[in-house]
Amino acid sequence: MKGLVISRFGSEADIELPDGQILRCHLRRKLENIVCGDRVLCQNEGDHQGVVTKILPRESVLERPIRYQGLKAVAANLDQICIVVSPEPEFSSLILDKYLVAAEHAGINALIIFNKADLLPGYADIPQQLDVYRALDYTVLLTSVKKPEGLEALQQSLSNHSSVFVGQSGVGKSSLVNALLPEVQAQVSEISDNSGLGTHTTTASRLYHLPGHGILIDSPGIREFSLEHIDKKLLKQGYREIYRCSEFCKYRDCLHLQEPGCAVKKAVEENLIDKGRYARYIKILQQEDE
């Protein structure tokens, strides 16, 4: 029978069956890469145990590279990637850009959620930094779980979509899930005083149903989001304004470094392309670490 992957841990997964029941299933070795949001075929083997026999074709998949392991799927069958950022842990345009590149690469619409808006105006420069993204037609929502603020607008943006929350550990992904779905009690914990970083509270992705139609997947935060799997030529497609402009470069394979007749460099000089975005594109291109 058909099922939907609700959660995945080690060699097992929780599968939601058409009648709403959750069946804990064993995963065969060759089906090891199943993730939240996957639609699968499974068999009930009795005793509240089942086995997944097949992954049905995916409409979309968000992937990220894991060091020494290669590409790993994060979630499947999404139509929206919600990148959650916050003032604490420290906001990083570079990390945001990397998620956006991954979203563009996967062909999935991205939504930027600036959470912990209650910590403004101490960090009033961040909404300004986000204006660059608004100008690129990304939707940016300001939310606060503590105040609370912006949660209705967020709910509206999520309804009728299949979304995943991604972002650094500690930005408040699970807190937002709890605020949106009061019957859910996802585990949440404080940011470490020493490092100012999140403590990797969520250890496995988990799929929730939203009221009406819509799916929301909470994912574990990551400290580093490298883009090693993205081909250099594809990277520029991940920067949508660079991609649009590259059509006017003299050379089709222009990487916008020092090539003659580069329309992107010209647009940067003329302030038509944001200097910060271009600098980060170059930084990722040259694979520099922060």
Ligand X SMILES: Nc1nc2c(ncn2[C@@H]2O[C@H](COP(=O)(O)OP(=O)(O)OP(=O)(O)O)[C@@H](O)[C@H]2O)c(=O)[nH]1
Interface mask toward Mg ion for 178-217; x: CB under 5 A? -----------------------xx---------------
Q: 73, 110, 103, 137: which is closest to 234 by C-alpha?
A: 103
Which residue type does 173 have? K
221 sits near ligand X (criterion: CB under 6 A): yes
Task: Give yes or no for residue 163 binding ligand X (CB under 6 A).
Answer: no
Task: Tell the smallest beta-carbon distance from residue 127 to Mg ion (Å).
Answer: 24
Q: Is 219 in the site for Mg ion (CB under 5 A)?
A: no
Decide: is 174 part of the binding site for Mg ion (CB under 5 A): yes
Element (H, E) at 206: strand 206-209
Closest distance of CB 213 from ligand X, Å: 24
Q: Which of 73, 94, 119, 282 binds ligand X (CB under 6 A)?
A: 119
CB closer to ligand X out of 145 and 245? 145
Measured over the CA atoms of residue 84, residue 88, residue 93 and residue 99, the dihedral's sign is: negative
The span from the CA of 62 to the CA of 103, in Å, is 7
Which of Mg ion, ligand X, Zn ion, none has residue 3 at its interface (CB below 5 to 8 Å by kind)?
Answer: none
Q: What residue 119 binds from Zn ion, ligand X, Mg ion, none (CB within 5 to 8 A, per partner kind)?
A: ligand X
Residue choice 3, 50, 172, 238 for contact with ligand X (CB under 6 A):
172
Q: Return the CA Rg of the chain.
A: 20
The contact set with Zn ion (CB under 5 A) reads 249, 254, 256, 262, 264
10 in the Ramachandran plot: left (φ > 0), alpha (ψ -120 to 50) or beta? left
Three-point CA angle 172, 175, 179, nearest 5° = 135
* Nearer to Zn ion among residue 206 and residue 256 (C-beta): 256
DSSP 8-state code for residue 258: S
Residues 6+ apart with CB under 8 A from 62: 73, 74, 75, 76, 78, 81, 102, 103, 106, 108, 164, 166
Q: Interface with ligand X includes 118 (CB under 6 A)?
A: yes
Q: Which residues are at the interface with ligand X (CB under 6 A)?
A: 115-116, 118-119, 144-146, 169-175, 188-191, 198-202, 220-221
